[in-house]
Amino acid sequence: MDAARDPEYLKATAQAVTDFKTALEEFLSLHETNHVARGIAPAILPHDDADPDEIHDARAKAARAAGRAYYAPRLTGSYIHVEGHGAVDPIAAWHSMASPKPLLEPDNVLEICDQILGRLEAMAAKAAAEAPSVTGVDLLHPLVWGAARRLWLNEHYREAVASAAEALVTHVQARTGRRDLSATSLWQQVFSASDPKEGQPRLRWPGDPQDQTVRSMNDGLRQFAPGAQMTIRNTSAHGTDGMTAQDALERLAVLSLLARWVDACDDVTAQPTDTPKPQARDKE
């Protein structure tokens, strides 16, 4: 996902810039502005009574904060033009103010930090307004939405559907131990009307097998699950046409319903058979 379109990332970057500005102000509080030989001498000088260790720690703190805010200038296009140096990254070059021939002065960096924060706030608001809606989608079965979420938010709707379908198949494979079958065959086998066999468990709708509703659910799942696999997963995984958010939402809703029905089913396994003990022969 493009970082410039991720509201949470933009907010986190803004916080990093705020932290950098705070750390820089703490560093500057141990210094005074140097108005002599501007552009030649350092822009700031330590206070006469400043503790060198405190200055060292404050400088290190500001440097770490600058590292965390590294991407902010390029995200916002916020640079300072310096004659002979071109566009200067204010966060990367902040430390030059304490060196001879400084590229920047304190006010330059503090002011552009505020500008960066304003731009990040505007970008975050714009990204949030343009973000794909998750209303309703986030209420789908957790397995389905968990697999689709990242791709959905990136507007890769076809891939989101395919990912959700594959996650559901993987879940059923783990539950039944049937990793020896293709996805469509897996659904056909786990909902098969035949009795379970050793290593071939079944999923059955709970209740009396002779009850009409239970029979309808079992018969329906036997056809519905493989059908969903073929019409939803296979077409989304192998198709090339674009898929709209609405098309994807409808398919995810089907997968979510299937996932909830799978959750409701009972696991039915083959009953162990007692091996008859050999009978002793009568002595002649």
| DSSP secondary structure letters along 204-232 | E-SS-TTSHHHHHHHHHHHHHHHHHIIII
Domain borders along the chain are: 3-130, 137-268
Largest CA distance in the chain: 125
Fill in the amino acid letter for 249.
L
pLDDT at residue 237 in the model = 78
Splitting the chain (284 residues) into consecutive groups of 10 residues, what average pLDDT does each group show? 81 97 98 91 95 97 98 96 94 96 95 97 89 75 95 90 96 95 94 94 96 96 95 82 88 96 95 60 52
Q: Count the Cβ atoms, other than its own, within 10 Å of residue 248.
A: 25
pLDDT at residue 135 in the model = 62
The span from the CA of 12 to the CA of 19, in Å, is 11
pLDDT at residue 154 in the model = 85
pLDDT at residue 278 in the model = 57
Helix (H, G, I), strand (E, B) or coil at 253: helix
86 - beta bridge partners?
A: 82
Q: What is the pTM of this model?
A: 0.56
Among 26, 108, 9, 112, which Cα is nearest to 64's?
A: 26
The span from the CA of 59 to the CA of 72, in Å, is 20
